[in-house]
Structure 1
């Protein structure tokens, strides 16, 4: 089938078992994540901006991010969770974002409580946060304009990224839950998961919790689930693997003068045809 109906992200969260999500920036990467068995795809703002060789710093517009997320969703039979940074501005921008993403078939978005324009969490930068009540107002706005009960809003706090500590992260997330957030995302750039586990102990399962274990990759998914996490996002490993593979492949071709050394290790063209659903398209021409 050239197009299939995807389940909502909410339905995955409500089934009770941990939801595993992989980051992508285009449809072919999203389909590869789906084929590997992931439950959903994260339309990563880092990956989408990096694919344009631009910084993850609110340089691209909402329309550009939406186009990437929508192209992924059209190719999938699993849901896309869209990384929507700060909501692309103020409350009116948030309302516009929700209406447009929902109309494009995206059933979940995540917003973070940084000031607009934001800078990627792992970049050396002053990660100043928006006032708690101001961000809670964004959450209320998002929930007030959604068209269906299925639409899922994830409130991401950058309190740990900003060095404000677990107590502040808990305080903010409770306020965001009060404002109607369907889940909270707690993020850290430390190389251990200690802060995240402390947060989980203090949270008491009030709303589903999302984690992104980029800097603490040794946290096995079974341990993540036992700790009380609802969703785990592997946000940028696909892009990083792509960079390594392309760098090595291009260097090999250039240095050896041919591609013969690669042919046994790279995908055949038939794999590309399969991902494109070429046979199904050809049937339409018969």
Structure 2
């Protein structure tokens, strides 16, 4: 009984970090919670007699669960391709990442990972993904990573290095695409507030869709003179619009953009779905956080 109490206390103590590891690796809050629960089932049946570092031991178990989930996801996608869910904001790490890069560069890389992961992580193998996330975001040593994936520390370092190059290469392109989308969303909101029908048509695709409203002219007519209270925002790092009341989001507008035209606008008014979103309200001239 005492051992179970000790296990429960250690698991509770490290739960937030374990969830952050799973969230970053899997890209979904629901899957992350499933991974943490599966890890607890394994932990509760384990022999803890030789556990000297509970935090490292628990992280290893969660990482192995996530690795299995990533491999299962990859196998499913060989039959039916799909996109990763939106990535969460990068978690704060208490340890300093190690490696050849300058510490400041490493920190910037970790901060930009939220956007870059949307573009790159799904192209990595599960082992590459695990090595990159655990080392570059959570400062887990290559020796520990190698033990999780049954590779040598040198092989784990190579996997992380290969993944890092892809992330760094995609970060610039991802930021440029986000900046262009922000300008389009800003133009749409300005035209909507002023009731400028012609300006709305400029940013809308002729076949634009909003719910049951179809066609650029119909969408422009619907929004002309509206969106007075909607504000430009980043939602999980992606340009969007948010309507708030008394400081609480009441509606989130997300935009699909193709060839510099808005092809679809989705409006979510369910506040229960807002809790897991990272929402940053922007004003004119604000720089997007990295």
TM-score of the pair, normalised by structure 2: 0.28
Q: Please say which structure displays the higher CA radius of gyration.
A: 2
Higher helix share: 2
TM-score of the pair, normalised by structure 1: 0.29
| Structure with more relative contact order (C-alpha pairs < 8 Å, separation 6 or more) | 1
